[in-house]
Amino acid sequence: MSIECSTTSKSQFDILGNQLLIRAPGKINLSLLIAGKRPDGYHDIETVMAKINWFDEILIEKGDNKGIELIRKGPYEVPGGEDNLVYKATKLILDSAGQAPPYDYDNGSQDTAVKITLTKNIPVGSGLGSGSSDAAATLMGINKFLKLGLSKKALAGLAVRLGSDVAFFLDGPLAFCTGRGEKIKKLKQKFSFSALLILPDVNVPTKKVYAHYVHDRALYEKLHCEIDALIEKNRIDLLSRMCANMLSNSCFELHNELVELKGKIERLDIGPLCLSGSGSAMFCIINNDNEEGVRKYQHKLQHDFGCRSIIVSNNSW
């Protein structure tokens, strides 16, 4: 089936009575370069990331039981308990703020625990960063809901402890990220786009893709110069059409079915098809005035290849 994505502008936070709803957007990598492997085993990367208007949802409220209660909903399964990034983020921020269950919500007037409902709309193992986004949204949400008063800098410090991409989702919506992905340079220029997002039913483990990666120094140096020049000229539009993702070969070697699908889709002449992150999701930047034509492609993708897709746009926050 094709998935419809609302183009209605939504805020990140909504207060619903005594509950706080936080939207956690996905992202696409408009470019992703690997500069080399670090002594600590991680890879240094250079990536331009853009948030999209497709969201997981996190609902925070007072709980009925002591401790952290995590409820999982939505079409995609994720681990529960301490294996879940939302749970980890909640525990981390509460510990760092000197909180311990039962938590004091109303200046001592009521002691209770925290209940979080995660609605998982974005598939895991897709390269769309939804797990990292969930973690960042949880940090911001708990800070707001419990009035902990932690600064953005303090939240960024916690984010790095949860994962390389988490800090990006604390700000945005467009940034150039380096290091392991945790060094964030916000790009102030606005890049408005629509994209056809292809969602193969394939879960790609990021660690496995990095472990399989073989570095190409010459390719990195070539792309680094080209992309730096485009960023300097504020030509993110041209950068996005390069489809420069140095993890592509590693991902496609591990998942030949993605290579075959990519070839079939590109033969439809939609345009350049880019891999997001370590995969499996792929996207094509489309003209905003050609959405109706792209919907016809969506129907063909579903009918001929059984492939789900969604039309997304750049997120405003």
Q: Residue 9: is its pLDDT beyond 70?
A: no
Is pLDDT of 109 > 50?
Answer: no
Kindly report the average pLDDT of the chain as a whole number: 92
Quote the pLDDT of residue 269. 87
Cα separation, 274 vs 296, in Å, equals 20
Which of 27, 88, 115, 120 is catalytic? The answer is 27
Residue-range domain boundaries for the chain = 13-313
165 is catalytic: yes
pLDDT at 1 over 50: no
Of 75-79, 110-114, 137-141, give the lowest mean pLDDT range.
110-114
What does the pLDDT read at residue 8? 52
Active site residue 115: no
Contact 36, 49 (CB under 8 A): no
Q: Is the pLDDT of residue 111 over 70?
A: no
State the pLDDT confidence band at 101, using cuts at 50, 70 and 90: low
pTM of the predicted model, to two decimals? 0.93
Q: What does the pLDDT read at residue 189? A: 86
Catalytic entry in 56, 115, 165, 262? 165
Residue 288 has pLDDT above 80, yes or no: no
The CATH number of the structural domain formed by 13-313 is 3.30.230.10
With H, G, I as helix, E, B as strand and everything else as coil, classify residue 227: helix
Q: What beta strand segments (E) does the chain contain?
A: 13-16, 19-37, 43-63, 68-73, 103-104, 111-119, 174-178, 183-186, 194-199, 274-275, 282-286, 308-313
Going by their DSSP bridges, the two strands 13-16 and 19-37 should be labelled as antiparallel
pLDDT tens-digit map of 206-245: 999 999 999 999 999 999 999 999 999 999 999 999 999 9
pLDDT band at 292 (very low <50, low <70, confident <90, very high): confident
Q: Which of 214, 123, 135, 171 is nearest to 317 (CA)?
A: 171
